[in-house]
Chains A and B, each alone.
Chain A
Amino acid sequence: MKELNIQYIAGLVLRARQNDSDAFAELYALTYSKVYNYARHYLRDDFLAQDAMQEVYILALKNLSKLNDPTLFIAWLNRISFNVCFDMSKKLKNSDAPTLEPEFLDNVEDEYPDSNPEELYRKKEEHRHLMEALEQLPFQEHQVIVMRYFNNMKLEDIADACDISRSSVKRYLAHGQETLRKKLKG
């Protein structure tokens, strides 16, 4: 992947902020391949990736004025891409769960012995702590951990999506896990 000229991009961002559609279109032309590749790897579906990409650029256009440092546009866009894909993936997982009628639930025996309210509450708390700790990780580590463990992606796919080497993915994973372990213990 070619490294993009940061200063040139910053200039386009400044123009796009002043409602210059051509500048935004050029930003899009420079970056859409990377965003699409990322979303396609993450969501594993062409149409979902296209939807995600559209969402990413709508958010980018809407919030462009909130970007303090225009030279950080690419990093900012990467974060938006990650958040959009993460949310879409989460929604998809939730929508996959079967929706049952309350009357039907009354007649079904509880197949999980630990699904009592206390246990559920404890698990929810654990999950909340984990998510808080994840949020505190550097972006790259946060991203690869979510992709690996929440999205079950292979190391190769993560490397291809993020345009980094496989060894970098392993490094981010190892460091992120170590930091999480320390945070959750303490």
Chain B
Amino acid sequence: MLFRKKKNYEMNIDTANTILQNVFAAESKAPNTIPFDKLILREKANTRFYDRGLILLLLVLLLTFISPLTIIPIVGISSTGFTADSAKLKDDYVEDGILYLQLEGINIQYEEAFLETTDGVKHPPVSFDKSKGIICFPYIDSMESNIYIPIADEQSLHLLLTPH
């Protein structure tokens, strides 16, 4: 049995108070001046912080566990944080098994661009049109691909292709 409810026996406050008074009487001690029910309330108040902390901790744990579900898979093309300043992706679409990327910017080295699949195979561009800023790659829908488009005197424009 993985989860089993604990069997806890509880004593009512009146009986507990009677026993406490018996204890004091047995040892000839003065009884408590603060009423017993107030002591119980004080104890509950002291543990309220603990209870809230526990609930908060459980919430954090729950959020941690479900966080992978909250990341929506990005479909299509996304550029990484290491992109070149002088070039950016303007548009992308797939037609007849070819991925068309429309770029905007200067000093784009179209002829040195390549697409690399996650298994390490590199594919050169199928074609490119410098005047329109369009470069075409084979569309591989079975795995993710990285596209590297070198920019002269700058870091490459790095695009991540996540298939639909």
Interface, chain A (partner B; CB < 8 A): 2, 5, 19, 21-22, 24-26, 28-30, 32-33, 36-37, 40-41, 49-50, 53-54, 57-58, 61-62, 156-157, 159-160, 166
Contact = CB atoms under 8 A, between A and B. Distances in A.
Nearest to B30: A21
Interface in B31-53: 31-34, 36, 39-40, 42-43, 46-47, 50
B26 A19 contact: no
Contacts of B80: none
Contacts, number: 81
Contacts of A36: 9-11, 16
Nearest to A54: B19
Contacts of A29: 36, 39-40, 42-43
Q: Number of contact residues on B: which range applies?
A: 20 to 34
A22 B30 CA distance: 9
B24 interface: yes
Given A36-B11, A37-B10, A61-B27, A24 B22 contact: no
A26 B22 CA distance: 15
What DSSP secondary structure best describes chain A's contact surface? helix
A159 B50 CA distance: 23
Contacts of A54: 19, 22-23, 26
Given A30-B43, A62-B27, A21 B32 contact: yes
Contacts of A32: 11, 16, 19-20
9 contacts: A21-B33, A24-B24, A24-B29, A29-B42, A36-B10, A57-B20, A58-B26, A157-B7, A160-B6
A33 B11 contact: yes
B123 to A, nearest CB: 56
B8 interface: yes
B7 A25 contact: no
A167 to B, nearest CB: 11
A76 B50 CA distance: 24
A160 B7 contact: yes
B70 interface: no
Nearest to A56: B23
Nearest to B27: A61
A30 B45 CA distance: 12
